[in-house]
Amino acid sequence: MNNYLKHTPVKILSKTWESPDTVTFKVDWQVQHDPGQFVNISIPGKGESPISFCSWNPDYCEFNVRVVGNVTEAISELEPGGTMHVRGPYGRGYPMRCFKGNHLLFIGGGCGVAPLKGIIEYVQHHREDFEGADLYFGYRSRDDILFKHLLDAWKSEFFLHVTIDRDAGEFQYSCPTGFVTEAIKHAQIDPNGKIVFLCGPPVMMDKTIPLLLEKGFHEDQLWVSAERHMKCCTGKCGHCMINGKYACKDGPVFRYDEIKGVTE
Amino acid sequence: MSVSPCSAQSLLAHEGKPLNSVMASDRRGERLGKILRKDQLKPLFQALQRKGSLYAPVKTDMVRFQEITTPEDVDAIDFSGHAFFPPKKYLLPNEEELFAIREGELRETVAELDQQFIVNVRMCDLNAVGILDNLYLDPEYPDPYYRAKRDATTFIGLNCVHELDEYCFCGSMDLQREYDLLLHDLGEAYYVDVRSDKGMALVEGLPDAEDDFTPPLPRTSKVLDPKGLWPFYADKWWAGDNELCVGCQRCTTLCPTCFCFDVKDDLDLDDLSSGKRLRVIDSCHSPDFTRVAGGHDFRASRLQRYRHRVMHKLQYYKDEFKRSMCTGCGRCIRYCHSKIDFVKTINEEFVHE
Ligand SMILES: Cc1cc2nc3c(=O)[nH]c(=O)nc-3n(C[C@H](O)[C@H](O)[C@H](O)COP(=O)(O)OP(=O)(O)OC[C@H]3O[C@@H](n4cnc5c(N)ncnc54)[C@H](O)[C@@H]3O)c2cc1C
Ligand code: SF4
Ligand code: SF4
Ligand code: FES
Q: Is the CB of B243 under 6 A from ligand 2?
A: no
Q: What is the pLDDT of residues B304-330, one digit of tens each?
A: 888 999 999 999 999 999 999 999 999
Q: Whole domain around residue B323: which residue ranges? A: 230-347
Residue B216: inside a domain, yes or no? Answer: no
Outline where chain A has alpha helix (H). 70-76, 113-125, 151-157, 180-186, 202-214, 256-259
**What confidence tier does A183 reach under pLDDT thresholds 50, 70, 90?**
confident
Pick left, alpha or beta for residue A81 (phi over 0 → left; psi -120 to 50 → alpha; otherwise beta). left
Look at residues B184, B203, B222 and tell me which one is the last residue of a structural domain: B203
**What confidence tier does A187 reach under pLDDT thresholds 50, 70, 90?**
confident
Q: How many domains does chain B have?
A: 2
Mean pLDDT, rounded, for B159-188: 93
Residue A69: inside a domain, yes or no? Answer: yes
Q: Residue A103 contacts by C-beta under 8 Å, 6 or more apart in sequence?
A: A130, A131, A132, A133, A134, A193, A194, A195
Give the closest residue (by CA) to ligand 4 atom 3. Answer: A235
Prediction pTM value: 0.89
**What is the average pLDDT value for chain A, to the nearest integer?**
90
Tell me the ligand closest to A108's alpha carbon. Answer: 1
CB-based contact, A92 to chain B, within 8 Å: no
Candidates A65, A243, A245: best to mutate against B (most CBs of B within 10 A) is A243
**Chain A residue nearest residue B276, CA to CA:** A45
Candidate from B105, B294, B299 with C-beta closest to A44: B105
Residue B342 alpha carbon to ligand 2 centre in Å: 11
| Residue B208 CB neighbours (<10 A) | 10
The verdict on A128 and A220 lying in the same domain is yes
Residue B259: inside a domain, yes or no? Answer: yes
Q: Is the CB of B251 under 6 A from ligand 2?
A: yes
Q: What is the pLDDT of residues B232-249, one digit of tens each?
A: 888 888 888 888 888 898
Residues A249, A88 contacting (CB under 8 angstroms): no
Tell me the ligand closest to A248's alpha carbon. Answer: 4
Which residues from A are below 8 Å from B264, CB to CB?
47
Residues A7, A83 contacting (CB under 8 angstroms): no
Mean pLDDT, rounded, for B279-302: 82
The verdict on A163 and A205 lying in the same domain is yes
Residue A208: inside a domain, yes or no? Answer: yes
The verdict on A80 and A133 lying in the same domain is no
Residues of chain B by 3-state class (helix, strand, coil), percent to 5: 30, 20, 45
Domain at A212, CATH number: 3.40.50.80
The verdict on A163 and A203 lying in the same domain is yes
Q: Which residues numbered 149-208 in A keep a CB inside 8 Å of some CB on B? A: 201-202
The verdict on A150 and A60 lying in the same domain is no
Q: How many domains does chain A have?
A: 2
Look at residues A89, A114, A145 and tell me which one is the last residue of a structural domain: A89
The verdict on A73 and A118 lying in the same domain is no
pLDDT at A95: 93
The verdict on B188 and B246 lying in the same domain is no
Residue B241: inside a domain, yes or no? Answer: yes
Residue A256: inside a domain, yes or no? Answer: no
* A237: closest CA of chain B, how far (Å): 4
The verdict on A100 and A218 lying in the same domain is yes
Peptide bond before B144: cis, by omega within 30 degrees of 0?
Answer: no
The verdict on B117 and B177 lying in the same domain is yes
Residue B294: inside a domain, yes or no? Answer: yes
Peptide bond before A252: cis, by omega within 30 degrees of 0?
Answer: yes
pLDDT at A157: 93
CB-based contact, A140 to chain B, within 8 Å: no
Q: How many helices (H) and strands (E) does chain B have?
A: 11, 11
The verdict on B148 and B282 lying in the same domain is no
Burial class from Cβ neighbours inside 10 Å (0-12, 13-18, 19+) for residue A232 reads buried
Residue A237: inside a domain, yes or no? Answer: no
The verdict on B189 and B234 lying in the same domain is no
Cα–Cα nearest to B351, from B225, B240, B235: B225
The verdict on B297 and B158 lying in the same domain is no
Residue A253: inside a domain, yes or no? Answer: no
Look at residues A89, A107, A141 and tell me which one is the last residue of a structural domain: A89
Residue B222: inside a domain, yes or no? Answer: no
Residue B109: inside a domain, yes or no? Answer: yes
The verdict on B153 and B301 lying in the same domain is no
Residue A235: inside a domain, yes or no? Answer: no
Give the torsion sign (CA, B320, B321, B323, B328): negative
The verdict on B196 and B256 lying in the same domain is no
The verdict on A220 and A103 lying in the same domain is yes
Domain at A63, CATH number: 2.40.30.10
Residue A37 has pLDDT above 50, yes or no: yes
- Poorest-confidence range of A258-262, B189-193, B255-259? A258-262
Which residues from A are below 8 Å from B304, CB to CB?
263-264
The verdict on B247 and B117 lying in the same domain is no
pLDDT at B31: 60
Q: Is the CB of B328 under 6 A from ligand 3?
A: yes
Distances in Å between the Cα of B333 and the Cα atoms of A235, B226, B236, B338 are: 27, 17, 21, 9
The verdict on B236 and B316 lying in the same domain is yes
Residue B4 has pLDDT above 50, yes or no: no
Q: Residue B46 contacts by C-beta under 8 Å, 6 or more apart in sequence?
A: B71, B74
Q: A1–B144: do the CB atoms touch at under 8 Å?
A: yes
Which residues from B are below 8 Å from A264, CB to CB?
290, 298-299, 304, 308
Residue A213: inside a domain, yes or no? Answer: yes
The verdict on B115 and B263 lying in the same domain is no
Which residues from B are below 8 Å from A85, CB to CB?
106
Residues A215, A241 contacting (CB under 8 angstroms): no
- Maximal CA-CA distance, chain B: 70
Candidates B109, B261, B265: best to mutate against A (most CBs of A within 10 A) is B265
Whole-angstrom distance, CA of residue B237 vs CA of residue A263: 14
The verdict on A138 and A181 lying in the same domain is yes
The verdict on B52 and B174 lying in the same domain is yes
Mean pLDDT, rounded, for B165-180: 93
Residue B149: inside a domain, yes or no? Answer: yes
Tell me the ligand closest to B335's alpha carbon. Answer: 2
Residue B223: inside a domain, yes or no? Answer: no
SS3 B314: helix
Residue B271 has pLDDT above 50, yes or no: yes
Distances in Å between the Cα of B307 and the Cα atoms of A124, A152, B238, B243 are: 45, 49, 7, 12
pLDDT at A151: 92
Q: What is the pLDDT of residues A76-105, one digit of tens each?
A: 999 999 999 999 999 999 999 999 999 999
Q: Whole domain around residue A56: which residue ranges? A: 8-89
Whole-angstrom distance, CA of residue A252 vs CA of residue A225: 5
Residues B156, B90 contacting (CB under 8 angstroms): no
Q: Is the CB of B330 under 6 A from ligand 3?
A: yes
The verdict on A104 and A138 lying in the same domain is yes
* B26: closest CA of chain A, how far (Å): 20
The verdict on A100 and A165 lying in the same domain is yes
